[in-house]
Structure 1
Amino acid sequence: MIENLKEITKDTLLSEVQKFADAKARFVVTVCNDLGDKLEATYYFNYSPGVEMVALRMVVGKDEEVPSISGIYLCAVLAENEMFEQYGLKVKDIAIDFGGLMLLGNGSPVTPMLKDKAAGGKGGE
C-alpha cells in the first residue's frame, strides 16, 4: 500500500495536479499498470526538501482518453508518451506527442506491456 495516496478520476486529474504545481511540488514520475480490463495511472510528486512522496491514482477503461498534465508539468511528456506506447493509455493534448515512436520504432510490437500482449497473448502470467 502506498502512503499519501489519493484516488482521483480523469475529470479531477488536472485540478489535483494544479494543486501540486501551485504548492511548488516536483513532478517525479507517472507509472502505468494493466489491471486487465482497466488501466491504472499513478502520478508521484515530491515537496522539497525531503524525500516523502505524494501520489494521485486514477483508474480508467482501456478505451478512455485522459487529459495530459504536460500543460502544467512539461516534463510529463516523457512519461505520458511512454504510457501510450507501452500500455495504450490514450493521453490527449500532450505538449510534445511522439505519435507512438518515442521508445518504439516502426515495426515494434504495439503496446508491449499489456498483459494480453505478453507471453503470446496468454494473459502475461
Structure 2
Amino acid sequence: MAELYKIQNFVAIEPAQLIEKVQDLKAEGYRLGQACCTKVSEGFEIIYSFDKDHTLLNLKLSIPEEEEIMSITGVYWPAFIYENEMQDLFGVKFKHMALNYGGNFFKVSKATPWNPKD
C-alpha cells in the first residue's frame, strides 16, 4: 500500500497565502487528507496535506503563538475537526472557523496540554 504514495511535496507558504493556495488546490481537484500541528521554538508549525491521484501535496506554515490564522473550513468544511484539535491541544488561534467548539472539542485535564508553554 505504501507504494501508492510515491511522491510527497512540501511547499512552505506564508500564513497570508493559505486560503488562496487551498482554494487553488480545491479547484484542481485535490482532497483534504489531514492537518497537523507541532510546537516549535518560534510558535507553531502547521501542515495541511492534500491528495490527488496518489500524490500528496503538503502546505507547511509557521506562525508565532499569538498569531491568528484563517480557517480553511470555508473551502474544506471537514477541516473543522483538525482545526478544533489544534485549537484545543496546542492553542492555535483560527479566524472564521465554520464550526468552532470554543476549546471544548476534547475533554482535557488542562487547557492546551500539548503546548509545553502552558
The structure that is strand-richer by fraction is 2
Give me the CA root mean square deviation.
1.5
The one-letter code matched in structure 2 to 1:36 is S
Q: How far apart are 1:14 and its partner, in Å?
A: 0.2
Q: Which has the higher contact order (CA 8 A, sep 6+)?
A: 2
Deviations 1:19-58 (A, max 9, x none): 11001111011110100231010000000x32x2110001
Query: Residue 15 of structure 2: SS of its match in structure 1?
Result: coil
Structure 2: distance between partners of 1:39 and 1:98: 20
Equivalent residue for 1:79, pick from 44, 60, 82: 82
Structure 1: distance between partners of 2:76 and 2:39: 24
Equivalent residue for 1:14, pick from 19, 25, 33: 19
Instruction: Report what 2:31 is aligned to.
Output: 26
Structure 2 gaps of 5+ residues are 1-6
Q: How far apart are 1:9 and its partner, in Å?
A: 1.0
Q: Using the aligned pairs only, state the percent identity.
A: 29
Higher mean Cα deviation, 2-11 or 32-41? 2-11
The one-letter code matched in structure 2 to 1:71 is G
Equivalent residue for 2:47, pick from 25, 42, 51: 42
- Please give the TM-score of this superposition, normalised by the length of structure 1: 0.84
Structure 1 gaps of 5+ residues are 118-125
Deviations 1:46-72 (A, max 9, x none): 00x32x211000100000000000000
The one-letter code matched in structure 1 to 2:47 is T
**Equivalent residues, number:** 112
- Please give the TM-score of this superposition, normalised by the length of structure 2: 0.89
Q: How far apart are 1:104 and its partner, in Å?
A: 2.3
Instruction: Report what 1:122 is aligned to.
Output: none
Structure 1: distance between partners of 2:117 and 2:66: 15
Structure 2: distance between partners of 1:40 and 1:29: 14
8 Å contact from structure 1 (residues 85, 104) kept in 2: no
